[in-house]
Amino acid sequence: MNKVVPNVEEACKGIESGMTLMLGGFGLCGIPENSIAQLVKMGVNDLTCISNNAGVDDFGLGLLLQGKQIKKMISSYVGENDEFERQMLSGELEVDLIPQGSLAERCRAGGAGIPAFFTPAGFGTEVAEGKEVREFNGKPHILESALTADFAIVKAWKGDTEGNLVFKATARNFNPMMAMAGKITIAEVEELVPAGELDPNFIHTPGIFVQRIFKGEKFEKRIEQRTVRPKN
Amino acid sequence: MALDKNGIAQRIAQDLRDGWYVNLGIGIPTLVANYIPEGIEVEFQSENGILGMGPFPFEGEEDADLINAGKQTITAMPGAVYFDSATSFAMIRGQHVQLTVLGAMEVADNGDIANWKIPGRMVKGMGGAMDLVASADNIIVAMMHTNKKGESKLLSKCSLPLTGVGCVKKVVTNLAVLEITSDGFKLIERAPGVSVEEIQNATAGRLVVEGEIPEMKLN
């Protein structure tokens, strides 16, 4: 089944103000940068964004924050972004911070038809407030519910016309789970190849989870913390 | 003399055991990788999705797609593997990782830890810390004994929002190695030249001192 759309404009068609979006990536690594730029252009607002991080001030989801397009963020770590911190502390932006492993599993559960699950993460902390607690093997766990989204937007290294995806290195992160949890999943890829070219043994995300795929025009791939060691 | 950050990392590295998978947090814990004892093989897991994390890349060889949980550019060792975030936390929650080393703002003498939020002032989020501390069998906290104002970070009760309850097993600071027991912080070792009295003065929580306390042995 051919999932290819010609460009980012077609890929993002149907995204409207007030929707819930999932956006893959960890920090600035593996984020769908072409689609984020398109969301800025479209000017949609009141968005609920589910993403591990909120970008930096002038890149990634930071761009949507600058335009006040986001109403609520569901994330695990939001440091490195001053505008985010300002909007959160002033109450303009609603923020739901959840443990990273719970966030990943909630997305996976959403895509896998599991409505909720118990995890030990967050027991006895603010995160557990209002959540059911149950003991398993003598240890308290809290009930976490699945997450889904109107659109999930992911970024992969290679993809084929069927929507099968291969990720590179640690740019994989949240992308596979979010691809599963979107009612419509958009994948932007660096290389788009014909069906049959990717080895089926080495595909990370099966195309069944992807509804639209396109080749991103440009990937800046900004590095957040450039750390090196000297050459001897 | 009190240890510096590298000294704390060096002392923690002595606790590494052959064959362990280890998750190192941001800050002092990251430095532990520089002091792996000879003859010991460990593999480092970073929760954003790599097992077999190597050192920082040489200049010019950075790859934006290859970072650690601190968003720093890294390399992969031979035999390394990449995976998604759900798999990563399956390793952590499922207790396949033998040791977690992380930093803290406060630790209480019952093993509670706080390291993700200062209400009204700083909210960065917990990242993977809550999953790590809730599940790891073996958690070592690496931190300075006191904060910038000179106040103890080893308390009878945490004042900041908690990251986890009753989970810390051991604390290594610039002054001491302490184990969490039902009676509070048990003093195990002193930093070279640091007296028991200095440690007592810098510890606000219950401190158990039994017999002679040896000095840490660092190279």
Contacts of A222 in chain B (CB under 8 A): 64
Average pLDDT for A101-105: 98
- B49 belongs to a structural domain: no
Q: Look at residue A79 in the predicted model and tell me its pLDDT.
A: 80
Q: How far apart are CA A85 and CA B123, in angstroms?
A: 7
Average pLDDT, chain B: 96
* Confidence grade of residue B148 (pLDDT, cut at 50, 70, 90): very high
The whole-number average pLDDT for the span A95-113 is 97
Distance of CA A76 to the CA centre of its chain: 12
Q: Would you say residue B163 lies in a domain?
A: yes
- With a cut of 80, say whether residue B135 has pLDDT above it: yes
The distance of A10 to chain B (nearest Cα, Å) reads 26
Q: How confident is the model at residue A27 (pLDDT cuts 50, 70, 90)?
A: very high
Q: Is residue B139 part of a domain?
A: yes
Q: What is the CATH number of the domain that holds B188?
A: 3.40.1080.10
pLDDT-derived band at A158 (thresholds 50, 70, 90) equals very high
- Residues forming beta bridges with residue B147, ordered by sequence position: none
CA dist A23 to A40, A49, B104, B159, Å? 14, 7, 29, 34
Q: B58 and A231 in contact by Cβ < 8 A? A: yes
**Residue A80: pLDDT over 80:** no
Residue among A81, A97, A125 with most chain B CBs within 10 A, to mutate: A125
pLDDT in tens, B172-181: 999 999 999 9
**pLDDT, tens digit (0-9, with 9 covering 90-100), for B29-75:** 999 999 999 999 999 999 999 999 999 999 999 999 999 999 999 99
The interface predicted TM-score (ipTM) is 0.96
Q: Is residue B101 part of a domain?
A: yes
- Report residue B138's pLDDT band, with 50, 70 and 90 as the boundaries: very high
Whether A218 contacts chain B with CB within 8 A:
no
Residue B74 lies in a domain: no
What's the pLDDT score for residue B219? 77
The nearest CA of chain B is from the CA of A181 a distance in Å of 13
Q: From B64, B90, B71, select the one nearest B26 (Cα to Cα).
A: B71
The whole-number average pLDDT for the span A8-16 is 98
- Any chain B CB within 8 A of the CB of A227? yes
A172 at interface of B, judged by CB pairs closer than 8 A: yes
Instruction: Output helix, strand, coil percentages for chain B, rounded to the nearest 5.
Output: 20, 30, 50
Catalytic residue among B38, B41, B43, B47: B47
B54 touches chain A (CB under 8 A): no
Q: For residue B51, what pLDDT is reported?
A: 98
The string of DSSP letters for B42-89 reads -EEEETTTEEEEE-PPBTT---TT-B-TTSBB-EEEEEEEE--HHHHH
How many domains does chain B contain in total?
1
For A28-58, the pLDDT digits (tens) are: 999 999 999 999 999 999 999 999 999 999 9
pLDDT confidence of residue A45: 97
Instruction: Give CA angle at A30 (A26, A33), nearest 5°.
Output: 110
Cβ distance A29 to B128 less than 8 Å, yes or no, reads: no
- Residue A21 C-alpha, separation from nearest chain B C-alpha, in angstroms: 18
- Tell whether B9 is covered by a domain: yes
3-state secondary structure of A35: helix
Residue A53's closest CA among B114, B124, B49, B115?
A: B124
Residue A168 has a pLDDT of 98
Query: What is the structure's pLDDT at B137?
Result: 87
The answer, yes or no, to whether residue B161 has pLDDT greater than 80, is: yes
Domain interval for residue B103: 5-31+97-208
Which of residues 81 through 110 in chain B touch A, CB cutoff 8 A?
82-86, 88-89, 92-93
Q: Is B78 domain-assigned?
A: no
pLDDT at B17: 97
Residue of A99, A102, A225 lying closest to B70 (CB–CB): A225
pLDDT, chain A, mean: 96
Nearest chain A residue to B65, by CA: A171
Question: What percent of chain A clears pLDDT 70, i.e. is strictly above it?
Answer: 100
State residue A180 phi and psi, 5-degree precision.
Answer: -70, -30
Q: How far apart are the C-alpha atoms of A154 and A172, rounded to whole Å?
A: 9
CA B30 – CA B45 distance, rounded (Å): 11
Helices and strands (DSSP H and E) totals, chain A: 6, 11
CA distance A173 to chain B (A): 4
Q: Are A122 and A103 in contact (CB under 8 A)?
A: no
pTM summary value: 0.96
Taking CA–CA distances from A74, the nearest residue in chain B reads B125
Residue B53 contacts residue B25 (beta carbons within 8 Å): no
**Domain-located, residue B130:** yes
| A133 vs A119: CA distance, rounded Å | 9
- Using the beta-carbon criterion (under 8 Å), do A78 and B57 form an inter-chain contact? no
Q: What is d(CA A77, CA A99) in angstroms, rounded to the nearest whole number?
A: 8
